[in-house]
Amino acid sequence: MAEKDVSRSEEARRAARNAERREQRRRERALRRGRRNWRVFIAVYSVIFLLAGAAGCWVLFRYAASYEASIPEHVMDDLMASTGEDRWYEIIRGDVTLPESEFEDTGAIFEAYYDAAVRGRRLSYRKKPDEYTASSPVYTVRGGGMDLAVVRLVPEGHGAAGFGFELWRVGEVRGVLALDHLESVTVEIDAPRGDTVYLNGRAVGERWLTGEAAPAPDLTELESRFSEVPSFARYRIPMYGEITVTDEKGVALSPQRSEDGRTVRYVAREDEFYSFTVRAPEPVTVSVSGARLDASEAVRSEDGVLSGLEAYTGESAYRTLTWTYGGLYTRPEISAEMNGTDLTPLINEKGELIFFPAQDDSLAAEMRSVVEGFFSSYIDYSGKAYNTVRHHNLLSRILPGSELYAYVRDSRDAMIWASATQVHYDELTFSDFYRVSDSCFTCTIRYKADFAAQSWYESYTYDLQNAYEMAFVRSGNRWLAAAMSVAAG
């Protein structure tokens, strides 16, 4: 019984050990399965992680590449590397604004300036502060410390670089070089109005007038009273190169540089000034460019053809005034009038202007035959002075005791050579009839004639153009020539 119990107990222990060993084997198998599954998980997870990392790296690489491609400086680097110096010069020269001037070759001046200031120097670029944005890159190209050109980049569009980044290309290259560094001066030329001045051999036109009136130096007192006081026109021209200023006679003018050195002035002063002499009787009002001449300014006052005729003129006699002026900048406009009538001057061989009183038409109609009769006798006698009848005929028309009477009376011997003279008149006028008093009038005789003279040993022809101022007086019931003065001839 006891052996059976021992046997049962042994079997039970053996069964328990077997069960324990089976459980242990089961657990070992379960552990081995768990380990195998973890290794699979780790392997699968590792593969997945590696694939995700690779994809992320690829995306990051593509992102970095897109960003790098979108940097606009690369386009600028390529532009700077591919554009030579001559091409930059063409761009800048084509867009730079040169001052318009017919007096110098501004293109050549610019090229010389570019060669000195820019050519051969290293070119660089930088962002243009006032225009550059991320969406619109703008750069300035610089050289020699100056802005030479502006480069504007434009996008290809549609995020061509990827990831929303843009690819850029050159949209505009524009020269912007200013001539601020190009040394220039302002040329001012003062010249009498109407005179032509030349800059570098070319006439300076009205487009360069400033509208300013430069005072004329050493202006005469008479000119200061002109209705339009003479002044110099002022021209102003910017210049960058050589400067040569000449007046209308080709004389070079000397420069007068301003204190700041930026303005050079030239004054075209006259070497020869205008002058004039004018003669007129007191009743005539003479004006020079609007300035009325006063009797007190006359250099000479004389009786003229009325000298010695006081018995016929009474207090009505007028004096003849002479004015002489010189040193005028402008050509004077001389005019005269009497009682509202404009007068036309006679110009003698010296260039002097002679005015006579305004004509009295009724007097001219009344006395013309008297003057014509005298002059006809005078010419008739002059051509045949040996003829006593003609000589006496002329003397009968002249006031006895006058200087004219004595002259004609004593002239026969001097004129006897003119044995035969024929006259052909191209012009013959009797004008300027003026009534001095009831017993005296004055007039002028003007003629232009061809003379054919014959003496006892020769013959020849000549032309004469003369003007005589005459005075006639009443003697009894006749009008006689009392004075004769050569006005021109």
What's the rounded mean pLDDT across residues 225-231? 86
For the stretch 300-358, pLDDT in tens is 999 888 988 999 998 888 889 999 999 888 789 999 999 999 999 888 888 889 999 99
How far apart CA 459 and CA 372 sit, in angstroms, is: 28
Residue 434 binned pLDDT confidence (cut-offs 50, 70, 90): very high
Q: What is the pLDDT of residue 369?
A: 94
Percent of the chain with pLDDT over 90: 29
Residue 299 has pLDDT above 80, yes or no: yes
Chain centroid to Cα 168, Å, comes to: 49
Sorting pLDDT into bands at 50, 70 and 90, what band is 114? confident
Q: Which of 106-115, 241-250, 333-342 has the highest mean pLDDT?
A: 333-342
- In which residue are the tokens 């000479």 written? 300
195 closest CA partner among 139, 251, 142, 238: 251
Ranking 9-18, 135-144, 252-261, 469-478 by mean pLDDT, the lowest is 9-18
pLDDT digits (tens, 9 = 90+) for 42-75: 767 777 777 766 666 776 766 666 677 778 898 8
Global model pTM greater than 0.75 = no
Q: Tell me, what's the pLDDT at 99? A: 66
pLDDT at 59 (0 to 100): 60
What pLDDT shows up at residue 247?
87
Report yes or no: 163 and 138 within 8 Å, Cβ to Cβ. Answer: no
Best-predicted range by mean pLDDT (299-308, 411-420, 452-461)? 299-308
Rounded average pLDDT over 435-464: 77
Q: Is the pLDDT of residue 89 over 80?
A: yes
Q: Which residues, other chains included, contact 44 with Cβ-Cβ below 8 Å and sequence gap of 6+?
A: none
C-alpha to C-alpha distances, 251 to 195, 198, 236, nearest whole angstrom: 13, 10, 20
pLDDT above 70 covers what percent of the chain?
83
Looking at the predicted structure, is the pLDDT value of residue 421 above 70?
Answer: no
* pLDDT tens by residue, 263-278: 888 888 766 678 999 9
